[in-house]
Structure 1
C-alpha cells in the first residue's frame, strides 16, 4: 500500500480539522521559534511536510523552506495554502529523495519518523538528512514516548481521546515493538463512523479503521 492509498484525498482534506490542538499558537508558536532559530539565515528542509502545518507558517516567518512528502493528497492540501515558488515540495520518500541545495536545518516533526517501519529505513533517513546538511547543520526529530506504564498486564489498548465525535486508542504489540493508533470520527448526526487518520506506530506506522 502506498502513502497516497493510505492517506486518501478525503483523509487529507480532514487532516487539519482533526489537528486543531497541534496547530494552536500554544503548541505551534514555540515549535516555530525553535526551528527558526536553528535555521538562522539558511534554508530548512522538512521531511514528510504533509499539509504544511509547520512548514507554511515557518516560511511565513521568513525561513526558506523546502518539503519532501510521499503522499500526493497531503501535498495537494498544502498547495492550496501556498504556491510552489514560495514553498517547493518534492513528492518522494524522505529516506531516499534528494532535493537540490544545502540546508542549515532538516526537521521531522510529530512522530513522523515512525512512518518508516524498519530500523534500516530509519537509518537511511538519518543518512539522507546528512546529505542535505551543510557544515554545522542540525537534524531535528520530534518523537513521543509510548505510555507503556499505562498498560496493565494482559491489556493491549489504552485510550488517548474519548469525546462526542472522536474515539482514539493505542494498541501495543510489545514483542514486535509496534504501537498502532486507531482513530474513529463520528460524521454529522447520523451516527456514521469513519477512520479519521492513519495510525501512528513505533517503530513504524500502520493504518487503522
Structure 2
C-alpha cells in the first residue's frame, strides 16, 4: 500500500506519519526500486499513488526523473519533508484519471495500490489513462495479490512489531463482490486503534483484458519484485504491460 484515495476517510491521515515505519520493508523496497529502474529506460517515469516517496525517492537518487499522482495531501506532506522530496512534481488528484499532461517511459503502481481503486470502472480508466500517457513502447507496471491466495489466508498478519508497538492486519474477502477489507489493529503508547481499508481485487486474466482494451499487452509477469517466476502457486504478481 503506497497511498490511498481520500474516499477512505482516516486511512491516509492516520497512517501518513507512521507509514514508512510500519510498511517500508527494506528488502521489498530495494527489489522494487531495482526492478523499476531497470524498466525505466531514459524516463521520465510516473508513480500513481506516490505516497510518502518510499519508491520514488530512491529512483530519483538513481538519476531517474520521477513524477507522481496521489489522492492524499497528508502523504504528500510526508514526502515533501524528506530530503529530495520537494523536487518531485506531484499532482494531488484521482490517480485513476492520471491527471498529468506529460508522456512517460514508465507508469507504475507499487505496494498493491492498484487494488485501492474502488471498482472495475475506475481500474479500467486507470489502464486507459495510463496507456495514453506512455511513449511508444512505454511500460505500465503494477503489483497485486492473487485473489485465490487471499482467500486461502486465515488469521491475522503481523505488519510491524517492536518494544513500543504492534500492528496486526486481518483481511476479510468477499469473492462475490471481488472485494476485500483489511482491518488494521494498532496498539501503541497504551492506545489501541482500528482502521479499515477497502480493496477491489482482480484476477491476472481480468487485468490482462483491461490492458488489452487500453492498447497494452502483457510483456512479463513475475511472482515477486525480485523476478521470481509466476507459477500456479504464486500468491502475488508483478505484471509488466507494454504499449502496442
TM bucket, shorter chain: 0.7 to 0.9
1:112–1:41 distance in 2 versus 1, CA, 3 Å? same
Does 2:156 correspond to 1:159? yes
5+ unaligned residues in a row in structure 1: which ranges?
152-156, 205-209
1:60 CA displacement? 0.9
Please state how far the C-alpha of 1:11 moved relative to its aligned partner: 2.2
- TM-score normalized by the length of structure 2: 0.71
Match of 1:19? 23
1:3-57 superposed Cα distances (whole Å, 9 cap, x missing partner): 4833353421111111142xx0x21222112111111112100001011110111
Question: What is the RMSD computed on CA atoms of the aligned residues?
Answer: 2.3
The 10-residue stretch of structure 1 (158-167 or 52-61) with the greater mean CA deviation from structure 2? 158-167
| Deviation by residue 1:113-162 (Cα, 9 ceiling, x = unmatched) | 111111111000001111210001000001122424536xxxxx632228
Q: Verify the 8 A CA contact 2:168 2:184 in the aligned structure 1.
A: yes
> Contact between 2:51 and 2:75, CA under 8 Å: does it hold in 1?
yes
Instruction: Calculate the TM-score normalised by the size of structure 1.
Output: 0.83
8 Å contact kept, 2:24–2:54: no
Once the 2 structures are TM-superposed, how far is the Cα of residue 182 of structure 1 from its aligned partner?
Answer: 0.8
Q: How many residues align?
A: 192
Name which of 200, 203, 213 aligns with 1:202: 200
- Counterpart in the other structure of 1:182: 183
Shift of 1:2: 3.1
Greater shift after overlay, 171-180 or 106-115? 171-180
The structure where strand makes up a greater share of residues is 2
Query: In the superposition, relative to structure 1, how do residues 8 and 139 fare at CA in structure 2: closer, same or farther (>3 Å)?
Result: closer
Segments of 5+ residues of structure 2 without an aligned counterpart are 203-244
Change (3 A) 1:62 1:46: same
Task: Specify the SS of the correspondent of 2:118.
Answer: coil
Q: Is the 8 A contact 1:109 1:142 kept in 2?
A: yes
| Residue number among 10, 13, 22 corresponding to 1:9 in the alignment | 13
Query: How far apart, CA to CA, are the structure 2 residues paired with 1:203 and 1:124?
Result: 15
